[in-house]
Amino acid sequence: MKEIMVEVIGVDPPCSLCKQTEKNARNVASKLVEEGVKVEVTKLNITSKEIISKYGVLMSPAIAINGRVKIMGKVPDVGVIERLLREVL
Partner 1 sequence: MERKRALKTVLMLGFVFFFIVMMIRAIIGAYTLTPTSTAEDLKALPLWEIPLVYIWDYAQHGWVCLGFAFTVSGLFAEFIPQSFMLQYMSSRKPISYLVATFIAPVFCVCSCTMVPIFAGLIYAGGGIGPALTFLLAAPANNILADVITIQVLGWQIALADIVSAGISAVVIGVIVSKTPWGKKFEQQSKSNPKQVDSVDLVKQPIDERLWNALKFGGYLAKRIVPAFLVGLVAVSYFQAFFPSDLVKTYLTGAFGVVLAALLGGPLYTPTLIEVALGKALVDLGMKPGATVAWLMGQPYDVANSLSTSRIVGWKIVITYGVLAFVCAVLSGLLFGLIVGGL
* Cα–Cα distance for residue pair 32/37, rounded to 1 Å: 5
Instruction: Identify which of residues 20 and 26 has a Cβ nearer to partner 1 in the complex.
Output: 20
Interaction site with partner 1 (CB under 8 A): 11, 15-18, 46-47, 49, 52-60, 64, 67-75, 77, 80, 84
Question: Minimal distance in Å, beta carbon 39 to partner 1?
Answer: 18
Question: Minimal distance in Å, beta carbon 38 to partner 1?
Answer: 22
Instruction: Identify which of residues 18 and 41 has a Cβ nearer to partner 1 in the complex.
Output: 18
* Cα–Cα distance for residue pair 15/25, rounded to 1 Å: 16
Q: Dihedral sign, CA of 9, 13, 17, 20? A: positive
State which amino acid sits at residue 47: T
